[in-house]
Chains A and B, each alone.
Chain A
Amino acid sequence: MIPASAFFILAALLFVLGVLAFFIKKDLLTQFMAVEVMLNAGNLAFLALAKTLGKADGQAIVLFVITVAAAEAVIGLAIIVLVFRQRKSIRTDDLKDLKG
């Protein structure tokens, strides 16, 4: 029987790794993947809580998170494709228009 805290620690580690990947990586696609990692860490925490409390609500919320993540991936990738069409690059170093 694995305690829920083990899953919480794993979720925290995964979330922090996602944040790290988001800040270290410099291309939009990999940063987008890092966002997915963070969403999955949240899902893991939701499921661990659902098991601890013995309720199915957490699983329902995980289902919604996955659908929202799918919609977000579709829109985000479309935006990245647009950026690539205009700039011929998806490196964040090349997107500095807002820098004063």
Chain B
Amino acid sequence: MAWAVFLILSFLCIGSVAAMILSRNQAHNALFLVLSFASLGGLFGLLDAPFAAAVQVLVYAGAIMVLFLFAIMMFNLRQGAPPERRRIRIVLAAGLGAILLAELVIAGRRAVLGGGGAASAPGRDITRLGELLFSDYLYAFEITSVLILAALVGALALAGKREGQ
């Protein structure tokens, strides 16, 4: 059962990212990405991380992608140009991707084999996450709030409407 869910979700995720690569319409790309992130949220749920799954769906598939769609609305783009001299790019990118994948698989196998998977108590309970956030990661947590404030002010300063224009 879990395998079926895993396979369906991972095919959805990989497939929608592949469709994003193939499609040339930015709005479609953003919607494919929403599907991909939503199925990733399901995968996070499979990994006993319900809070991360909820945050993934709410923040990523919700907030961030809505931001992307708003940006696409602002741009009012014409459709993509004809596919001129893209072959060499695709071949180069595919070669690079194959090398990177091999590297990741080698590194991952070494990490998994070396680490030894003594999977004991799963981190299912959310209280541990909360305690961790407010004890070990307290400084990081507070700095995150400053970061978000800085991003808000920075976005306003960069893209906000000027008085003189």
- The answer to whether A and B assemble together is yes
- Residues on A lying within 8 angstroms of B by beta carbon are 1-10, 12-21, 23-25, 27, 29-30, 32-34, 36-37, 40, 43-44, 47-48, 50-60, 62-64, 66-75, 77-82, 84, 90-91
Identify B49's interface contact among A27, A37, A50, A78, CB under 8 A.
A50
CA of A6 to CA of B112 in the docked complex: distance in angstroms? 11
Contact partner of B75 (CB less than 8 A), chosen from A5, A20, A29, is A29
> In the complex, A51 Cα to B46 Cα: how many Å?
10
List the B side residues contacting A70 at CB < 8 Å. Answer: 59, 63-64, 148, 151
- Contact (Cβ within 8 A) B137 A82: no
Q: Ordered nearest first, which 5 A-B pairs have the shortest CB separation? A: A71-B151, A23-B93, A78-B159, A12-B104, A78-B158
Kindly state the separation between the CA atoms of A7 and B67 in the bound complex, as whole angstroms.
28
Q: Are B119 and A52 in touch, CB under 8 angstroms?
A: yes
Q: How far is the CB of A92 from chain B (nearest CB, A)?
A: 11
Within the complex, which residue of B17, B46, B154 is in contact with A14, where a contact is CB–CB below 8 Å? Answer: B17
B122 in contact with A23 (CB, 8 Å): no
On whether the beta carbons of B51 and A10 are closer than 8 Å, the reply is: no
Q: Are B154 and A78 in contact (CB under 8 A)?
A: yes
Name the residue on B nearest A40 (C-beta). Answer: B40
